[in-house]
Structure 1
Amino acid sequence: MTTSHPELHTERLLLRQWSEADLDALAEMDADPDVMRYIGDGSTGTRERTAAALGRVRAAWDEHGYGLFAAEEIATGELVGWVGLAVPAFLPEVMPAVEIGWRLRRRSWGRGYATEAAREVLAFAFGEAEPDARLEGVVSICHVDNHASLRVMTKLGMTYDRTTRVPAHGQPVRVMALTREEYHSSP
């Protein structure tokens, strides 16, 4: 995959690289118990943990040539969350794999942003938006009770792979998958 840091555009969103100015909005999102309910063990994040995670997100782009995009609403310039690609090392049984995922601020829920942005990230991952960015497949992982994320995965054309538990905290998760071939053959 390419090591550039592309910007992607949807009708309503700019998917871009992170800046220091994003830390406050990101920390607010990570501190929201409703947002974090189905993430990891469900605990909220601190500003310090969010800042450290942001550093890891930036490093992932250099290491892998893909990563998490900051999702900014074009009309307002507001950070609505993130959408992107990451290595799901927290679930060793699916490795090697690349996960497509998203996390949005609560006030951005229910607007179709996750699906809109994830479609653009899939185009990037499977080589439509970026000729050198070609993955053979992606997975998406969500807590079994996270029905909103499951709906997004289904809209993206992903199919059920397995239900399992995350070793670190025992939470039950559903794994969905999509191959490049399936992506290119879908209507």
Structure 2
Amino acid sequence: MYLFKSKRLGFRNWTDRDIKPMTEICADPEVMRFFPSTMDEEQTAEMIEKFKTIFKEKGYTFYAVELLESKELIGFIGFSYTAFEGEFKPMVEIGWRLAKACWNKGLATEGAQRCLDYARENLDFETVFSFTAVLNKPSERVMQKIGMTFQKEFDHPRVEDGHKLKPHVLYKLNL
């Protein structure tokens, strides 16, 4: 059962049957090229449990996203509460991670826009942020397409010094 839908996507909470297909996505070096490492099944299961907990506590999460046509899990799009140390946190973050087969089809933009519409209608957000590695131009383009504005560059506190993924960009959208 979907919490909400877009033209091509269904958004729902996570189940244990999502662990295997999401592990395939998170184990793909191309999908994870803007993260410090890929994820194995145990790490993916922990991530999904975290998403379930966030949903229970906050009423939102990085939602499991399916193609409506095939009911295939293609990744996640949605919101998280980011509380790591930094001058602009805590904050509500919008983010996405999709299977490589779903890239360059407008799905991340469609899904992120639908999540923002859902938030305006159902969630008590005033502002949403998004951030990614400076090198992740595809994700940054999605941020721009959904109306977010560039705020600043910063060094991600959870990425080791000297790592090519430490420099990040921060975008913001007032709802």
Alignment TM class, shorter chain as reference = over 0.9
Select the residue among 94, 106, 109 that pairs with 2:100.
106
Partner of 1:16: 12
**What amino acid does structure 2 have at the position aligned with 1:80?**
I
Partner of 2:156: 166
Residue aligned with 1:18, SS: coil
**What amino acid does structure 1 have at the position aligned with 2:140?**
L
Deviations 1:79-111 (A, max 9, x none): 111001002234532212100000001111111
Q: How does 1:72-111 map to 2 (within 5 A)?
A: 72-90=66-84, 92-111=86-105
Structure 2 unaligned regions, length at least 5: none
* Residue identity (%): 36
User: Structure 1 length as normaliser, TM-score?
Assistant: 0.87
Residue aligned with 1:33, SS: coil
Moved over 6 A (4+): none
CA contact (8 A) 2:128 2:174 kept: yes
User: Structure 2 length as normaliser, TM-score?
Assistant: 0.92
Instruction: Tell me the distance in 2 between the aligned counterparts of 1:96 and 1:88.
Output: 6
In the alignment, structure 1 residue 123 sits paired with structure 2 residue 113? no
Deviation of the 1:6 alpha carbon: 6.5
Deviation of the 1:77 alpha carbon: 1.0
In the alignment, structure 1 residue 57 sits paired with structure 2 residue 48? no
CA contact (8 A) 1:90 1:166 kept: no
In the alignment, structure 1 residue 138 sits paired with structure 2 residue 128? yes
Deviation of the 1:76 alpha carbon: 0.9
Partner of 1:71: 65
Instruction: Tell me the distance in 2 between the aligned counterparts of 1:101 and 1:55.
Output: 17
Residue aligned with 2:60, SS: coil
Structure 1 unaligned regions, length at least 5: 181-187
In the alignment, structure 1 residue 34 sits paired with structure 2 residue 30? yes
CA contact (8 A) 1:84 1:118 kept: yes
